[in-house]
Structure 1
Amino acid sequence: MPGSSRPLYQMKAEFFKTLGHPVRIRVLELLSQREHAVSEMLADIDVEAANLSQQLAVLRRAGLITSRREGLSVTYELTSPQVAQLLTAARAILTGVVAGQAEVLEQPA
Structure 2
Amino acid sequence: MPGVVPLYQAKAEFFRMLGHPVRIRVLELLGEGPTTVRALLDEIGIEASSLSQQLAVLRRAGIVTSTREGSTVVYALAGPDVADLMRAARRILTEMITGQAELLDALREDRPSQPGTAPSQPGTAPSQPGTAPSQPGTADARPASADNA
Give the TM-score normalised by the residue count of structure 1: 0.94
Q: 1:104, CA displacement in angstroms?
A: 1.1
The answer to which structure, 1 or 2, has the higher relative contact order (CA under 8 A, 6+ apart) is 1
Larger proportion of helix: 1
SS of residue matched to 1:59: helix
* 1:63 maps to amino acid: G
- Which amino acid is 2:88 matched to? A
1:1-109 equivalences in 2 (<5 Å): 5-107=4-106, 108-109=110-111
**Residue identity matched to 2:76:** E
4+ long deviations beyond 4 Å: none
Structure 1 runs not aligned, ≥5 long: none
Higher CA-based Rg: 2
State percent identity of aligned pairs: 60
**3-state DSSP class of the match of 2:5?**
coil
Q: Give the length in aligned residue pairs.
A: 107
1:37-85 deviation digits (Å, cap 9, x = unpaired):
1001001002110000000000000000000111111100000100000
In structure 2, distance between residues paired with 1:104 and 1:82: 33
